[in-house]
Every structure is written in structure tokens, then in C-alpha cells.
Amino acid sequence: MAESPTDTTALARTCQDLYTALRQDAPLVQCLTNFVSMNIAANVLLAMGASPAMVHATDEAPEFARVAGAVVINIGTLSAPWLESMLLTAASARQAGIPWLLDPVAHHATAFRRDAVRQLLALQPTIVRGNASEIIALAGGQSAGKGVDARDAVAQAEQSARDIATAHRTVVAVTGETDYVTDGGRSVRVTGGSPLMPRVTATGCALTALVGAFAAVSKDDAYPAAVAALSCFAIAGQRASALAEGPGSFAWRFLDALASLEADSLTRESPLR
């Protein structure tokens, strides 16, 4: 599928509208996420006006998915019981028409993780968000990544992202120094952010949770939902970085920057290219 030229001005306006809808609707986002990211993911969602629910137990997570606005599945601290819950919850969300997102953290590191992601992809995630190394490996390529670290440039992962989006009928967001979002037919790059972001644990995982919040208010089209979330992170990251003295002060300033975003920030300070 050939990519269409991107009208970044119109897309930025759509992102602004989604931001307004998120603030008004306060969507409930169910996060089956790793132990490291639970706190920051919840705080990011709260700062943006969404409602986090870290409901992951097999006994209740699939049922809870049917009342959530979106479901986020992150395999960072994967275990057999968690995988069972993730598969059941993703299937439940899909059956109920609830958008669900996959964050394939270090999926290429072990056979257990590779098999887990294979099963989850078969359940057709609405959006996949990962770093460049994860996306290259997910498409079957050879990445330089080790563990959760990305050692490939986002530009090297763009074709992989398009291939995944087309094969699995999903939206793929590749994050790094310059982010890239595609649904196989449309694509855009998102600039901004801060070099301090990778030095604060689980910022990428928290970003996936925020993508879920935007997906909850954009159920007819997941593509601008991913772009809106990445835009918020890019703008807030730049604002926080301008005042931060290091990763510690950046972390709390970043939450404050997210909380103080105005709707028109997404058009006035649009990071879309």
C-alpha cells in the first residue's frame, strides 16, 4: 500500500480535538503493565485527565476489559499467569469492540517472550507501540537491541513498521529521538521530547498507556490517537527539559507539563513533520 501525503495541519487539529475529548470524558484505561511502570503510567494518565486501572488478575481482568475505554498490554515483567490473563483480556476487549494496545517490551530477548507476542499479535491489537529495535525484530528483521534498550535508529524501523501495520491491520508507533506513526497507508513523524526521557524509567511504557487513553476517545480511527499521545509527550518533554537540572527534576516537571498542556498547544506547538 502506498503511503498518502500527510496534511500535518489538519492532523494537528484532529489531535487537538482528541485532547479536548480526553479531558472531557476522562476515559478508563485498563493497564496490564509491568511492575516498574505501574506508578508512572498511572500518574501520566491522571495528569492528562484519564482514569487508570491496574487490573491484571486472570479472575477479573477479562471481565473488566468490557467496561474499560481501552486496554493496554505491556509484557515488561512477563510471567505465565500474566500471559494467560493478557491473552484472555485481549480476546475479551476485541470481542467487545474495545481498543487494545500492545507494548512488546524486549519481545525478542527470549523464546518465552517471542511466543507470547506471537499469540498476542494473533488477537489483532489496535495499536502497537515500541522502540525501533523492538519493531524491527517484530517484523522479522535483525535488530541491535539488547533487553529493553533500543540500539537502532527510528528511521531504520520505518519499513518494518509499515510491514507490521499492513500485515496485522494495526497502527504502529515507533518511538525514539524522532517518532514515527503509520497505519500502512498514512504516516507522520513527531519531533521534540527530550534526551532526558530515556533516563527516566518506564517513560515509554507510560506513553503506551496514554496512547490507550486517546484510543478510548478515538475508536473510529486509531491513527490520530497514537499521533495525539506522542505529540503530548513531545511538547511536554520539551517544556520540562528546558527547566530540568537532570533526570530527577525532569520526571516531576514532565508530569506537571503534561497536566498544564492546553488544547491549542497541539496546534500552536505542533511537533508533526
With 0-12 / 13-18 / 19 or more C-beta atoms within 10 angstroms meaning exposed / middle / buried, residue 184 is buried
Measured CA to CA, the distance from residue 247 to residue 199 in angstroms comes to 6
> What is the rounded end-to-end Cα distance, in angstroms, of the chain?
21
Unique residue bearing C-alpha cell 528511521: 155
DSSP state of 197: G
Instruction: Tell whether residue 54 is among the known ligand binding residues.
Output: yes
Unique residue bearing C-alpha cell 503510567: 41
The region that residue 125 occupies, defined by phi over 0 for left and psi between -120 and 50 for alpha, beta otherwise, is beta
Instruction: Say how many residues make up the chain.
Output: 273
Instruction: Tell whether residue 91 is among the known ligand binding residues.
Output: no
Q: Which three cell numbers stand for residue 63?
A: 471481565
With 0-12 / 13-18 / 19 or more C-beta atoms within 10 angstroms meaning exposed / middle / buried, residue 54 is middle
Q: Rounded to the nearest 10 degrees, how much is the dihedral formed by the CA atoms of 103, 224, 27, 90?
A: -40
SS3 content of the chain, % helix, strand, coil (to 5): 50, 15, 35
Is 18 in contact with 201 (CB distance < 8 Å)?
no
Q: Which residues are annotated as a binding site for ATP?
A: 129, 175
Q: Which residues are annotated as a binding site for substrate?
A: 54, 202
Q: Which residues are annotated as a binding site?
A: 54, 129, 175, 202
